[in-house]
């Protein structure tokens, strides 16, 4: 696929899974901001795993059929409240409530509506929260062929002026970079290309810069900087550099079967997901 064809792709549809937590509020706010810029339609998706009694007519379950239906009505009221709170009449917003496992539901519905972007909230500030709250976001990032933004803080003052693309700039990252360029060209912002060097994986600044220049030589990118950053770990380098330039968004490429392990080992990926409070967007290789 050529760069020209990719740039013709329009961002028309944004999917936002919501569970009515503060993190899903953050994701919804960010979706509203991006939708306004791109004139995209937003789908709010709430996934419900009801007790087995909904299927066996209430026998032996915690909720009877009437109680379950009342619960679904409450969910509908809450999702409509989300719509009223975070979107204006200028936005095109739909909602859907599905009885399905969250991870499978996100995957299935994103395909059904041909979503161009998924925006999710996540916590993951402790091992327990990472397992319970962060797992759906992590699974979606690992398996989605659609770009995913994970947001952890209130994007009230969010504006997309500076994007950091952190990579090892190997050949297999070019497909993800093409997708990033398609996203990048929707906004009037600067792209900061970042290679982090550590003691264990050190190379000279000259060699790192040459690697980045070779990587982007076939892409039509004009508003960008090339950056080599030395730090004690890759994830610390990404976070510290992003803070230094006050980046609005961190972009990474992912591999379907191993998450971010093509770029980081498992412990580094986990640490980055916990500590990077800036929104992170991922593009699958």
Inside any domain, residue 58? yes
CA distances (Å), origin 85, targets 16, 79, 82, 120, 241: 15, 10, 5, 17, 34
Domain endpoint, select from 151, 180, 202: 151
Domain boundary among 151, 170, 197: 151
Same domain, 50 and 115: yes
Residue 15 counted as domain residue: yes
Tell whether pTM > 0.85: no
Looking at the fold, whether 67 and 179 belong to one and the same domain comes out as no
Query: Count of domains in the chain?
Result: 2
Q: How confident is the model over 104-123, as pLDDT tens digits? A: 889 899 999 999 999 998 76
Q: Is residue 4 part of a domain?
A: no
Range of the domain at 219: 162-284
* Same domain for 209 and 110: no
Domain assignment present for 120:
yes
Co-location of 120 and 183 in the same domain: no
Same domain, 142 and 22: yes
Note the pLDDT of residue 255.
67
What pLDDT score does 62 carry?
Answer: 54
Same domain, 185 and 147: no
Per-residue pLDDT tens listing for the chain (285 residues): 333 333 334 678 999 999 888 889 999 999 999 998 888 999 999 987 655 444 444 444 455 667 777 878 888 999 999 899 999 988 899 999 888 777 788 989 999 999 999 999 876 544 433 433 446 677 777 778 888 898 888 888 888 899 999 999 998 888 889 888 888 877 878 999 999 999 888 899 999 999 999 999 989 888 999 999 999 988 889 999 999 999 999 998 876 544 444 444 444 444 555 556 788 888 877
Of the residues 132, 151, 170, the one at which a domain ends: 151
Residue 122 belongs to a domain: yes
**Domain harbouring 61, CATH code:** 3.40.50.620
Asked, for residue 185, whether it belongs to a domain, the answer is: yes
In a domain, 1, yes or no: no
User: What are φ and ψ of residue 98, in 5° steps?
Assistant: -125, 145
- Predicted pLDDT of residue 110: 92
Residue-wise pLDDT for 117-156, tens only, equals: 999 987 654 443 343 344 667 777 777 888 889 888 888 8
Whole-number pLDDT of residue 115: 93
183 and 71 in a common domain = no
């Amino acid at each position: 696929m050529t760069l020209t064809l990719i740039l013709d792709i329009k961002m028309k549809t944004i999917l936002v899974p919501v569970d009515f937590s503060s993190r899903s509020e953050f994701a919804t706010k960010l979706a509203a901001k991006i939708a306004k810029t791109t004139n995209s339609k937003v789908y709010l998706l709430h996934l419900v795993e009801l007790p087995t009694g909904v299927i066996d007519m209430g026998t032996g379950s915690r909720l009877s059929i009437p109680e379950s239906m009342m619960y679904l009505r409450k969910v509908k009221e809450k999702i409509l409240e989300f719509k009223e709170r975070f979107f204006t009449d200028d936005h095109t917003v739909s909602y859907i409530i599905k009885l399905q496992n969250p991870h499978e539901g996100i995957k299935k519905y994103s395909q059904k509506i041909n979503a161009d972007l998924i925006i999710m909230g996540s916590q993951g500030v402790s091992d327990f929260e990472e397992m319970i709250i962060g797992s759906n976001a992590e699974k979606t990032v690992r398996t989605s062929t659609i770009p995913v933004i994970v947001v952890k803080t209130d994007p009230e003052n969010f504006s997309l002026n500076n994007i950091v693309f952190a990579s090892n700039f190997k050949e297999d990252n070019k497909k993800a970079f093409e997708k990033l360029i398609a996203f990048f060209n929707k906004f009037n912002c600067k792209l900061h290309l970042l290679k982090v060097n550590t003691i264990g994986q050190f190379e000279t600044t000259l060699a790192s810069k040459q690697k980045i220049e070779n990587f982007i030589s076939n892409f039509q990118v004009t508003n960008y900087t090339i950056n080599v950053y030395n730090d004690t770990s890759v994830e610390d380098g990404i976070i510290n550099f992003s803070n230094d330039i006050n980046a609005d968004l961190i972009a990474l490429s992912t591999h379907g079967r191993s998450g971010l392990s093509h770029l980081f080992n498992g412990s580094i990926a986990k640490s980055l997901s916990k500590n990077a409070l800036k929104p992170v967007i991922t593009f699958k290789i």
